[in-house]
Amino acid sequence: MARLTTGLSPVRQQAVSVSLATGAYGLSQGALAVAAGLDLWQTLALSLIVFSGGSQFAFVGVIGAAGSPWAAVGTSALLGIRNGFYGVTLAPILRPMRGWRFVWGAQVTIDESTAVALAQPAHDRDARRTGFWWTGVGVFVAWNILVGVGAVAGQYIGEPQAWGLDAAAAAAFLGLVWPRLAPRRAQAVAAAAALFALALTPVLPAGLPILAAALVAVAAGWGGPPIDLEPTEAPV
């Protein structure tokens, strides 16, 4: 890695290493999507057009748990809300964005590109823009290639449970949420959401107990001290 990024400015080096590390867990997304019942092309399409790790893992998780396609869309949409807030923060840095540049800029507005952009000094707008574009495009390329590799490998896996892929999916969700669990209140929200979803599992159709956990977020966020909506970097 060190040799690979020699000669690049620090922000570009950071972008490349975040892209490669994030891409690596695209392998698990690809394999899990195929295990959940998507075919290779569906896995690739999901990854290319949804392009947000949490939303993709959620979509695949709901389908894998025999939930309806609409529960999968709903859960992935709710998990994508935070990307909308990243756009609000990034807009003044990236302006002006029009045409295809806007289409691309929106598509690569994710946790990692936002985190690297905002990690650069506030006065250095060029570094922030470079961080955003290099990380966004870098993750897009690495992630989608490795999702494809994971999906192809997943096709040769016979019984997903014998390979522990159901446990791998649970561990993936834990890994995605882990960096966000530092605040006490976040831990309480997580515990309440899990208990709520588990309690509803016997009574609601598959997929809906997870969507219902959104109500916990609404209840928890209704009052309380102001908090910043900061991206956490991927658990790399």
Segment 144 to 173, residues that bind other proteins, using CB under 8 A: 161-173
Nearest-approach distance from CB 122 to other proteins, in angstroms:
16
The residue from 81, 124, 126, 153 that contacts other proteins (CB under 8 A) is 81
Position 76 contacts other proteins (CB under 8 A): yes
The residue from 40, 77, 119, 152 that contacts other proteins (CB under 8 A) is 77
| Piece in contact with other proteins (CB under 8 A), picked from 8-16, 36-44, 124-132, 137-145 | 36-44
Position 19 contacts other proteins (CB under 8 A): no
Q: What is the sign, positive or negative, of the torsion defined by CA atoms of 141, 38, 161, 152?
A: negative
Site for other proteins in 187-226 (CB under 8 A): 189-198, 201-202, 206, 209-210, 213-214, 216-218, 220-224, 226
Q: Which residues contact 108 (CB under 8 A, 6 or more apart)?
A: 51, 132, 133, 136, 137, 139, 140
Which DSSP string do the residues of 32-63 spell out, in sequence order?
A: HHHHHT--HHHHHHHHHHH--HHHHHHHHHHH
Position 127 contacts other proteins (CB under 8 A): no
Determine the Cα–Cα distance for residues 141 and 147; give it in Å rounded to an integer.
Answer: 10
Nearest-approach distance from CB 7 to other proteins, in angstroms:
25
| Piece in contact with other proteins (CB under 8 A), picked from 6-14, 122-130, 137-145, 180-188 | 180-188
- Eight-state DSSP code of residue 92: H
Determine the Cα–Cα distance for residues 127 and 131; give it in Å rounded to an integer.
Answer: 6
Number of residues that bind other proteins (CB under 8 A): 106
Position 4 contacts other proteins (CB under 8 A): no
Q: In the block, which residue shows the tokens 């929200």?
A: 189
Residue closer to other proteins by CB (options 118, 168) is 168
Nearest-approach distance from CB 39 to other proteins, in angstroms:
8
Q: What is the sign, positive or negative, of the torsion defined by CA atoms of 132, 58, 144, 17?
A: positive
* CA 205 from centroid of its chain's CA atoms: 25
For the record, the structure tokens of 126 come out as: 């060029």
